[in-house]
Amino acid sequence: MDDFLRAATVFVLAMVALGLRCVLRGPCDADRMMAAQLFGSGGIAALLLFQAASGLKPVIDVALTLAVLAAFASVAFVKAGTNSNDAEEGPQQ
């Protein structure tokens, strides 16, 4: 059973790594941010699977912390994007 959970961990991490290709080639910044979002949720799933396979209790707390912090990077991205858009739209009007 532990081997199955370890294999699932590696699979989820491989999916996250594939998704990170989008950071390199994503046509716009929103796509890059989505890859970071995938890294957040996939990383949490991998941590939980690893915790179940290894039995290290504190790893759940690490996943909990990541889940709390998941939103902040994207909120900062959107905030920066709207500010620069306002600055670009300003002179045109």
Partner 1 sequence: MTAAANLLTITAVLAGAFFFLAGTVGLLRFPDTLTRLHALTKADNLGLGLVVLGLLPRTGSVVAGFKLILVWLLVLLASSAVSQLIARNARRSPP
Residue 76: burial class (beta carbons within 10 Å; 0-12, 13-18, 19+): exposed
Read off the tokens for 16.
Answer: 């996250």
77 contributes a contact to partner 1 by CB under 8 A: yes
87 contributes a contact to partner 1 by CB under 8 A: no
Give how far Cα 41 sits from Cα of 36, 75, 82, 93, Å: 9, 16, 25, 40
User: Which residues contact partner 1 (rule: CB under 8 A)?
Assistant: 1, 4-5, 8, 11-12, 15-16, 18-19, 21-22, 27-28, 30-31, 33-35, 37-38, 40-42, 44-45, 48-49, 51-52, 57, 60-61, 63-64, 67-68, 70-71, 74-75, 77-78, 81-82, 85
